[in-house]
Amino acid sequence: AQSVTQLGSHVSVSEGALVLLRCNYSSSVPPYLFWYVQYPNQGLQLLLKYTTGATLVKGINGFEAEFKKSETSFHLTKPSAHMSDAAEYFCAVSVEGSQGNLIFGKGTKLSVKP
């Protein structure tokens, strides 16, 4: 079975500072990994995903994530936070043959201070 752990339910950074949101996964088979962002009272928007190939994945809005198999991690980063980045971020895992069922982490709320 797959599972996702997001360390830190709430992360606060200053505008312009580095954003680091942590995600660790557990999977007995090669995982597919996703990061989604959710703005208040809205659905989820895909930021980026890792399936195969290059382990550093670039997404929208300047975000990127690196798949590290040895650490079973898929941390999300952005070099410089913007006020508009304030939202809830979810890491998710899927595996081949699962019909694409996503297993989500509990989410990390990102606050950006001026």
Partner 1 sequence: GAVVSQHPSRVICKSGTSVKIECRSLDFQATTMFWYRQFPKKSLMLMATSNEGSKATYEQGVEKDKFLINHASLTLSTLTVTSAHPEDSSFYICSARNLYQTSSTDTQYFGPGTRLTVL
Task: Catalog residues that contact partner 1 under the rule CB under 8 A.
Answer: 9, 32, 36, 41-46, 49, 51-52, 90, 94-107
Q: Min. distance of Cβ 60 from partner 1 in angstroms?
A: 12
Nearer CB in complex with partner 1: 15/109: 109
Q: Min. distance of Cβ 104 from partner 1 in angstroms?
A: 4
Amino acid in position 1 = A
**Contact call for residues 57 and 66 (beta carbons, < 8 A):** yes
Q: Min. distance of Cβ 9 from partner 1 in angstroms?
A: 8
Amino acid in position 9 = S
Q: Min. distance of Cβ 114 from partner 1 in angstroms?
A: 25
Nearer CB in complex with partner 1: 5/17: 5
Nearer CB in complex with partner 1: 15/22: 22
d(CA 103, CA 107): 12
**Tokens of residue 58, six digits:** 């670039």
Nearer CB in complex with partner 1: 17/38: 38
